[in-house]
């Protein structure tokens, strides 16, 4: 796994999002009500809506284009719709608040 520092915990409001790019990969970070940080590909599998512009509800994000509901922990689109987005492991340094995203070593950054 490759580890990338992408934000500081204070950069992300509770129930808010931030987006960033690593190579050609755009990732959205979300801070849930429980304080956890989740990272997913910033693209709805339906029509490519920017998930970082959607509304967080519990551990789900609602796509801003057609309201598809996606579980931020698993990346799975909720019924009755079908699909999945890529999720990424996240670490938060409890000492300085740095947020890191882990990408598989096989994932190429262009």
Would you say residue 91 has pLDDT above 90? yes
pLDDT, position 110? 58
pLDDT, position 81? 87
pLDDT, position 23? 82
User: What is each CA distance from 68 to 4, 37, 79, 87, 101, in whole angstroms?
Assistant: 29, 20, 9, 16, 24
The CATH superfamily of 2-103 is Rieske [2Fe-2S] iron-sulphur domain (2.102.10.10)
Q: What is the tens place of the pLDDT at every residue in 11-68?
A: 999 999 999 998 888 999 999 999 999 999 999 998 889 999 999 999 999 999 898 9
The residues spanned by each domain of the chain are 2-103
Whole-prediction pTM value? 0.89
Select from 54, 24, 29, 25 the least CA-distant residue to 40. 29
């Amino acid at each position: 796994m490759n580890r990338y520092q992408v934000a500081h915990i204070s950069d992300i409001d509770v129930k808010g999002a931030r987006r960033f790019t690593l190579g050609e990969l755009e990732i959205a970070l979300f801070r849930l009500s429980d304080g956890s940080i989740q990272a997913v590909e910033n693209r709805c599998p339906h029509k490519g809506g920017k998930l970082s512009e959607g509304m967080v509800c519990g551990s789900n994000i609602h796509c801003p284009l057609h309201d598809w509901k996606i579980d931020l922990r698993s990346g799975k689109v909720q019924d009755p719709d079908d699909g999945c987005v890529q999720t990424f492991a996240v670490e938060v340094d409890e000492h300085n608040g740095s947020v890191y995203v882990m990408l598989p070593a096989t994932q190429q950054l262009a």
